[in-house]
Amino acid sequence: MMQAAVTVLGIETSCDETAAAVLRLDGQGVRILSDHVASQTDEHAAYGGVVPEIAARAHVERIDSLVRLAMRDAGETWGGLSGVAATAGPGLIGGVMVGVMTAKAIAMAAGIPLIAVNHLEGHALSARLGGQPSFPYLLLLVSGGHCQFIAVEGLGKYRRLGSTIDDAAGEAFDKTAKLLGLPAPGGPAVEAEAQQGDPSAVKLPRPLLDRPGLDMSFSGLKTAVRRAAEEAPLTPGRRADICAGFQAAVADILSVKSARAMEMFAAGREGPLSFVVAGGVAANRQLRSQLEATARRYNFTFHCPPLRWCTDNAAMIALAGAERLQAGLVDSLDVGARARWPLDERAAAEAPAYGGGRKGAKA
C-alpha cells in the first residue's frame, strides 16, 4: 500500500552541530529540499573538545535563523509542512532541549504533529536517504559516542547484538588526536596524518579480538597510543606512524567483529543481506574500504550514507520523522529531552554494555 506523501522539517542539536533540513517522502522516494548545518568547531577549538554550556548557547543563537534558512531554501511555508521532527536524545541535554523546545513551538504554532526522534535512529536510517536499503539489515553504528552492532528489523524494531564496553571508536579518534596535538575534529585530523605514516611502524593492540562475541573495547588502544607518544620524541614522522597504526587497529577490530556479526545476522535468513555502516566514523575512507571488503566476503551488500550524512545532520532526523509520521508514530507536546536513550531499551536495561547510573542505561 502506497504511503501518503509527507513533508517534514528536521532539527538536530544533540552535540556541537546545529542543523535544520526539510525532506519530502512520497511514492517516488526521498527528496531533500534543503539541508543546512552550522558547525561550532571554532567555539570549542581552544578547549580540545566540546564544552556542553558553550554548545547549548550556540544552538540557541543559531537555531531560529537556520530553521528560517531551511524553510526558505525548500520553498515551503509552515502550512505546507506535515510535521516537525527533532532529536530528543541521546546527547548533551542542554543542546537537545534547544531543539526539542524549538520543534514544540513550531508544532504548536503551525498546528502540525511533533515527532521526537532518537538520534541513533536517525543514524540507523541515514543510509535510506538514498532510498536503500530495505528492512531488515545489519547496522554498525560507529560514532563519537556510540559503537554497536544492531539488527534493524524495521522502523522502531532494533536489537542490539554487541557494543563497546568502554569508549566508542569515535571517542578514541578524538582522544588520540588530542594526545598527539592534532586539531579538532579528531577523526579527520588522524585520518589525514595516517596517510603519511606507516601502519606497521608502531605496534598497537587489538583489544578483545580473542574474545568470542561482538563486544569491543577501545580504551586500552587509547592508552597504548599515549605510551607510544611518550616512548620517543614526537616528530612529525613518529606522529604520522602512530596515527596510521591506530587507524589500522580500529579498522581491524571493526572488520573482525563485523564478520562475526554478519555470521550471526545471516543465520536462518534467506534472500539478500545488507550491511549498513553509519555514524561519523563511517566517513573514514580506510575503514569504509575495509568494511566493504568484509561485506563482500560474507555476501552482504554494503551501504553507507554519503559523507555529508555520516556526521550529525538534520536530513536523517527529518527522514526518521517522516517514516514515523507515515506509520502514525507521533508525540505529544509534553515529550521530554533525554540525555540517554538506547535504541534497544530492553537490552540496555537487562544487560547494559557499560553501566547504568542515575539517568538510566548508557548503551
Q: What is the pLDDT of residues 227-246, one digit of tens each?
A: 999 999 999 999 999 999 99
Residues 57 and 82 in one domain: yes
Q: d(Cα 217, Cα 46) in Å, to the nearest integer?
A: 29
Going from the C-alpha of 219 to that of each of 22, 150, 178, the distances in angstroms are 38, 21, 15
Q: What is the pLDDT of residues 39-57, one digit of tens each?
A: 888 888 778 778 999 999 9
Residues 79 and 54 in one domain: yes
Residues 122 and 156 in one domain: no
Residues 158 and 257 in one domain: yes
Lowest mean pLDDT among 63-72, 123-132, 160-169: 123-132
Contact 306, 300 (CB under 8 A): no
Residue 363: inside a domain, yes or no?
A: no
Residues 329 and 341 in one domain: yes
Contact 120, 146 (CB under 8 A): yes
Per DSSP bridges, beta strands 83-89 and 114-118 are parallel
Inter-axis angle of helices 236-266 and 219-231, nearest 10: 160
Residue 1: inside a domain, yes or no?
A: no
| Res. 361: pLDDT tops 70 | no
Contact 101, 84 (CB under 8 A): no
Query: Which CATH number is 113's domain given?
Result: 3.30.420.40
Residues 220 and 286 in one domain: yes
- Which residues fall within 8 angstroms of residue 21, CB to CB, at 6 or more apart? 9, 10, 32, 33, 34, 35, 36, 70, 313, 314, 315, 317, 318
Mean pLDDT of 170-188: 93
Q: pLDDT class for 348, splitting at 50, 70, 90? A: confident
Residues 202 and 260 in one domain: yes
Q: What is the pLDDT of residues 109-127, one digit of tens each?
A: 999 999 999 999 999 999 9
State the total domains in the chain.
2
Residue 358: inside a domain, yes or no?
A: no
Residue 357: inside a domain, yes or no?
A: no
Most confident of 127-136, 142-151, 233-242, 354-363: 233-242
**Whole domain around residue 240: which residue ranges?**
136-307
